[in-house]
């Protein structure tokens, strides 16, 4: 039996892992949220590992409030950098493998082609900076790690763009959505499936990987697809980022190149529209 710690146990990625648990009967999961385990406290993490013998840690714990991070800088870095560092240190001490989730926000969005793992990183928000520092701490502390940079995560769980759009479709007749930020919506359950597959096969091709669904979209395209799928009668208008100012800057273009992950793991990745359809079916079901 492979024993796995899942931090951030009440978040959407961890919830997707819970949904898939039954498909992996040789994996045993312990889920914690900050009430049970404070990853920013090294001593707490060390004690928790001493009391439980883990083979893997999937770090789903993150400070993801992109705009609030601009004013809550210490909390963002405590969770996203120090928390990641503590998990890496303790995983090394207890010979566990760390699976960590990072973000496309480590890039500044000025590139016009898909971002590869080795491309120059230059985060333009506190959130992006804190996530990048977390990546660097893991790489420095632990060789047995997988870091997955992903983008625009959504699912039937937690707070995310898909669920927000579904709610707004019932509350509003008109809506304006940003059209000049380009990336790829990613179904959290697809990412969860990949992580569990690597654990169940005890894969050791450690390193940094980009993972999102296939295809390219703006937030406007994403919203339009959601409304089409649910037959929502709502007038949708495209607007520029300058017309919708936010505390945090976001990359204008952050499409991830997935060549490495597809080549390394012989992976076929679904298109974002196909995965959106599945997510909506699961949510309505």
The verdict on whether 127 is a catalytic residue reads yes
Residues 222-250 have a mean pLDDT of 95
| Crossing angle for the helix pair 219-229 and 161-171, to the nearest 10 degrees | 60
pTM of structure? 0.96
Domain that holds residue 9: 2-158+188-212+254-269
Residues 45-61 have a mean pLDDT of 96
pLDDT cut 90: percent of the chain above it: 97
Asked if 199 and 138 count as a contact pair (C-beta separation under 8 A), the reply is no
* 177 within domain boundaries: no
Name the strand (E) or helix (H) holding 199.
helix 188-200
155, pLDDT greater than 80: yes
Query: Which one from 31, 63, 115, 127 is the annotated catalytic residue?
Result: 127
pLDDT recorded at residue 90: 98
Query: Cα(271)–Cα(213) distance, rounded to whole angstroms?
Result: 5
* 62 within domain boundaries: yes
pLDDT recorded at residue 169: 93
At 12 the three-state DSSP class reads helix
H helix intervals, the chain: 12-20, 42-51, 73-77, 83-93, 126-141, 161-171, 188-200, 219-229, 259-265, 272-284
Q: What CATH code is carried by the domain that includes residue 99?
A: 3.40.50.720
Segment 97-114, tens digit of pLDDT:
999 999 999 999 999 899
* 41 within domain boundaries: yes
* 166 within domain boundaries: no
* 165 within domain boundaries: no
Confidence of residue 23 (pLDDT cuts 50, 70, 90): very high
Query: Cα(209)–Cα(283) distance, rounded to whole angstroms?
Result: 28
Mean pLDDT score across all residues of the chain: 96
Provide the Cα torsion 243, 241, 101, 217; round to 10°: 120
Residues 10-35 have a mean pLDDT of 95
Instruction: Provide the number of structural domains found in the chain.
Output: 1
Confidence of residue 285 (pLDDT cuts 50, 70, 90): low
Segment 35-45, tens digit of pLDDT:
999 999 999 99
Q: What are phi and psi of 30, to 5 degrees?
A: -120, 120
Name the strand (E) or helix (H) holding 13.
helix 12-20
157's tokens:
């769980």
162, pLDDT greater than 80: yes
9's tokens:
């146990």
Asked if 183 and 152 count as a contact pair (C-beta separation under 8 A), the reply is yes
* 118 within domain boundaries: yes
* 71 within domain boundaries: yes
């Amino acid at each position: 039996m492979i024993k796995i710690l899942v931090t951030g146990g009440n978040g959407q990625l961890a919830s997707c892992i819970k949904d898939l648990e039954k498909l992996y009967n040789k994996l045993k999961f312990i889920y914690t949220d900050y009430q049970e385990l404070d990853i920013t406290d090294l001593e707490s993490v060390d004690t928790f590992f001493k009391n439980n013998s883990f083979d893997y840690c999937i770090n789903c714990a993150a400070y993801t409030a992109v705009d609030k991070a601009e004013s809550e800088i210490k909390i963002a870095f405590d969770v996203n950098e120090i928390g990641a560092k503590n998990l890496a240190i303790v995983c090394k001490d207890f010979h566990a493998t760390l699976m960590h989730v990072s973000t496309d926000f480590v890039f500044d969005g000025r590139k016009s082609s898909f971002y590869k793992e080795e491309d120059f990183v230059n985060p333009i928000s506190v959130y992006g900076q804190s996530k990048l520092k977390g990546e660097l701490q893991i790489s420095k502390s632990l060789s047995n790690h997988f870091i997955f940079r992903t983008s625009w995560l959504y699912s039937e769980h937690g707070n995310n763009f898909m669920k927000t759009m579904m709610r707004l479709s019932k509350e509003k007749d008109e809506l304006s959505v940003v059209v000049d930020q380009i990336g790829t919506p990613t179904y959290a359950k697809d990412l969860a499936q990949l992580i569990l597959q690597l654990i169940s096969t005890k894969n050791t091709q450690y390193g940094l990987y980009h993972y999102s669904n296939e295809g390219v979209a703006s937030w406007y395209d994403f919203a339009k697809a959601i409304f089409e799928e649910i037959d929502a009668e709502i007038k949708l208008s495209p607007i520029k980022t300058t017309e919708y100012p936010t505390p945090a800057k976001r990359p204008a273009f952050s499409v991830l190149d997935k060549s490495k992950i597809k080549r390394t793991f012989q992976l076929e990745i679904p298109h974002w529209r196909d995965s959106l359809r599945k997510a909506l079916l699961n949510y309505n079901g």
